[in-house]
Structure 1
């Protein structure tokens, strides 16, 4: 698997498609490895004529870890944010956006279509706001604005997300991962048991690093409300969101589309906070069509 230095840290990435085709950068979410982008989705986007690049964010997967760097506790961060203070965190979503742009630099890519899922959508928003000259288009997938007035995650979804497994024994980690996937997944498109187990086992064996998500969460909380930033985004934007997302309710997608001038919104019934095989063709079609309509083609 290729690796490079981007924004001063080591980033692991994969790419598929014609190296001369327009580039599409996929940014994954909270605590999630690049492998959470289904191979089938990557292949479908590459088949549409894109150079598709997915990578492990800092502190997850095979990219550089920030061992020993402490993040403030969730309760402390939340309280500080509510009274108007920005908590001091190991790194920010803006730093993580610069990682993605640094990867484009390392690969010699001037501009790319930026696609981000969940926290990756928040990072993608920062890319579009901070580096508009590097963006051909922006697509956010089940992401949000940080607006504190939006409905929160369902309690069972948030509990599943932040609860650590009982041990580091492989079987326990796999069961825990499957529980999380089922809890936040799509009620209309439940994952087959054998596929879910196979993908979860592969993820555990590729990397298990529970400290990283703690720092990811601190970056999300510290980022606060992004609506003022989003109003200045001039990149063509598509917002995709599931109508049955238990972790980031659909209102987050609607608020994102309402906050970015000219953004288009597409919601899908039965879709939760995952990327089910049944929706690969529809999602790849929407992302690819948006990218083509946005113009620009250099890789």
Structure 2
């Protein structure tokens, strides 16, 4: 059941956003606190925002909302088929129309806020979720109180690059649950934080939970196409006035640290937090770094407009 002290999350609920789209979401903390929307990255269900991290954020005065993006977890699946050849062409910059775009995913986030009756929220996103969060801030500026972009990039191909050899690792080979768990553990060993390692059992448990929530190989490919087809937001980000923080690991192999630096450079007044030994994950050893940064950025928004009613 829903609680108001930030010690536990509500039940998982469904938000109907259209005839063919429903998003699964969960909240932590009191609706009377400042709303904070957490947006996860490629193929990641909302549970990749760890429960303890959500609870810590709720303890710091946020009404935390985490959710499954479309094609992820218990949210709706789209029906367009994608082939690996489509990904290769998109990676090479070939023109094409993806099944949906980051604009569509940003619209989903805003639709969830509408469903919850939240006029504006602090928004934090990880990786693809950071791209979505940036897009929400650009296309729906009145809905964003503050922005925290974590291990993400601007969409410019010359920064935040990923080695092409990692692309196949994002798609597990055909097979059952155990095959996904094994390939997931292997990937996180490559891209995780070297100074904040996660145990093999934790990696396997998370992968099993991800698979059981409804892992869609085709859905991951559709999300990849949205990422590969994203525009370069660099110039547009220069017009943002919302208080912003950019967090990036110096050891990130999935999105090179240049992506974080470029994002912070593009957004006027953005705070850049570079973390030594952090890769492309949210390790427990850095929870307080994430919480403190999001809280500090939200406080900047409060000082900008004065004390506000959540």
User: TM-score category by the smaller chain?
Assistant: over 0.9
Q: What per-residue deviation string (whole Å, max 9, x for no partner) do you get for residues 250-283 of structure 1? A: 1100000011111110010000000001111121
- In 2, the alpha carbon distance for the partners of 1:231 and 1:68 equals 34
* Equivalent residue for 2:249, pick from 218, 242, 267: 242
CA contact 2:160–2:260 (8 Å) conserved in 1:
no
Deviation at 1:100, TM superposition (A): 0.3
Aligned-partner Cα distance in 1 for 2:93–2:250:
31
What residue is the counterpart of 2:211 in the other structure?
204
Measured at CA, do residues 285 and 109 of structure 1 come closer, stay the same or move farther in structure 2, by a change above 3 Å? same
Q: For structure 2, list consecutive stretches of 5 or more residues without a partner in the other structure.
A: 1-11
Q: State the distance in 1 between where 2:229 and 2:260 align.
A: 20
Unpaired runs of 5+ residues, structure 1, are none
Task: Please give the TM-score of this superposition, normalised by the length of structure 1.
Answer: 0.93
Higher-RCO chain (CA-CA 8 Å, sequence separation at least 6): 1
Is 279-288 or 17-26 further displaced after alignment? 279-288
Q: Structure 1 residues 112 and 30, CA, compared in 2 at 3 Å: closer, same or farther?
A: same
Match of 2:222 in 1: 215
- 1:47-89 residue CA offsets vs partner (Å, 9 max, x unmatched): 00100000000111111101244477012223444xxx4x211
SS class of match (1:223)? coil
SS of the residue 1:99 aligns to: helix
TM value normalised by structure 2: 0.90
1:165 paired with 2:177, answer no
1:280 pairs, out of 287, 290, 303, with: 287
1:114-263 map, 5 Å = 114-150=123-159, 152-161=161-170, 163-168=171-176, 170-263=177-270
Equivalent residue for 1:265? Answer: 272
For the 8 Å contact 2:152–2:160, the answer to whether it is kept is: no
Please identify, of 64-73 and 10-19, the stretch whose mean Cα deviation from structure 2 is larger: 64-73
CA–CA distance in structure 2, aligned partners of residues 239 and 142 of structure 1: 8
Write the distance in 2 (CA, Å) between the matches of 1:32 and 1:16.
19
Inter-partner Cα distance in structure 2 for 1:13 and 1:283: 21
> How many residues in Structure 1 have an aligned counterpart in Structure 2?
293
- Tell me if 1:59 matches 2:65: no
